[in-house]
Structure 1
């Protein structure tokens, strides 16, 4: 199968490795040169995408990320890219297209439980733009598109969490954080190549929402730092569960984030 990646960052590279090892032919589109051996790489602007010289494309992954977090960058990256990509793909026999979005499309922020059947109600402009992107892709490919909404992706660095643990003396609220290891996300995205019947969208998370202050407390305890004080029992954030993923045969290799944090701490301490 010929599989095209539009956007080729850390997650895409992991997915491509899995698919290359399964014998698929991989092509990629990105803004900068890539050198890994898993794929044939092309540098193109997705706003002016030209796929006329490509062999027939059977499956597509759209895994884009804006250069910054502002509304204009979100609109350009997620919404304005859909039409030129879809037009460029018209000549190809695309059987399946996977679009990576975000759980930001769920607007709840008071600790509510969210799953794949929850009503989508974005509350900020970036969330609205992500939802608009999803709907545009479903209009272009109503039968072939699969929307994937990961929660907080982790697994490559703990520098930010260590810094927060060192700097945080009090935490204002119980703010729920949801996690998925980057390798599990990549494996699930690769898993979607072979799944026989699929849903229109999947949340991807480890199904263990954890208050952020508890994560920082864990780091503070491991690092021998002063322990923070929780200021309020008011709940914010979301408690997110991947109910559709749980119904597939896919199994996470990293269900508990603290195991991975402990390993990364060990690696970091050995590097000193």
Structure 2
């Protein structure tokens, strides 16, 4: 059995940690409000913006699943750069089998509906959020530990029903011709657990980068219209995008072929599967 540390043990981390613990592994969850971490995860209170001194010994795996508290550069720097530096420093004497870093598909900047996979280029001159995510990825990849980056698309699921709420309240419109990509919470946890099990079986089977999205990149208006129909509310307004709005909005079709090829089977392969259950 393995000793696993989950740094940033929020919603995804607690779901993953519970799953791993139920499989017999020793799981430690680190977050600022340690009292929010449920058993059987062993809680560790720590602030990632300062040196970390209370990690357990003999850790085998680390998951870094941190979110920035605000959409501001200082918050992103603390979450994805300083927090990573302090975590790696605290682990310097340990022999970690693999360091998993949860990132975002927002680092891909394609705007014209292109098909995107792990070999596609990231944004060269993006905003602060992209810059900090890529800095964090680089820190992890350049550390002495074997590492894997997982870039998730738009996450939805229990407690993440923002789009449903907006459609229900008639407070949303959609932009014609814009592709969107998403993944259910349970599949995020499923992928993270799957890669752990794959590494335990044979570390050479695990790649250094995966895109985490479901099988169906979909035009945003199609998703909104389907939700409105399911919720029995008026149709969502469609608008024609201006060139300036296109440049501000990601528009790409992400491939999950690599994670599929690794042997992972999706619980919710399409938005209909996932949202129907939530509704």
TM-score, with length taken from structure 1: 0.89
In the other structure, the counterpart of 1:97 is 99
- CA separation in 1, counterparts of 2:182 and 2:193? 19
State the distance in 2 between where 1:152 and 1:210 align. Answer: 12
Q: Does 1:232 align with 2:235?
A: no
Whether 2:200 is the aligned partner of 1:192: answer no
Q: Is 1:262 the equivalent of 2:271? A: no
1:257 CA drift (Å) = 1.7
Residues 1:14 and 2:15 aligned together: yes
C-alpha deviation, 1:158, in angstroms: 2.9
Partners of 1:241 and 1:53 lie apart in 2 by: 36
1:251 aligned onto 2:251:
no
Match of 1:221 in 2: 229
Cα separation, 2, equivalents of 1:45 and 1:228: 42
TM-score (norm. length: structure 2): 0.87
Instruction: Give the corresponding residue for 2:185.
Output: 182
Q: Find the partner of 2:174 among 164, 171, 183.
A: 171
Distance in 2 (alpha carbons) for counterparts of 1:254 and 1:225: 24
Aligned residues: 264
- SS of the residue corresponding to residue 206 of structure 2 reads coil
> Do the aligned partners of residues 29 and 171 (structure 1) sit closer, same or farther apart at CA in structure 2, a change above 3 Å counting?
closer
**Alpha-carbon contact 2:167-2:228 (below 8 Å) kept:** no
Q: Which of 108, 115, 135 is residue 132 of structure 1 equivalent to?
A: 135
| Aligned counterpart, 2:255 | 241
The CA deviation at 1:93 is: 1.4
Give the Cα separation in 2 of the matches to 1:228 and 1:90: 52
Q: State the distance in 2 between where 1:87 and 1:161 align.
A: 41
Contact 1:51 1:89 in 2 (8 A): no
Give the match's secondary structure for 2:230.
helix
Counterparts in 2 of 1:54 and 1:212: CA distance versus 1, 3 Å = same
Backbone CA RMSD of aligned residues: 2.1
Structure 2 residue ranges without an equivalent (≥5): none
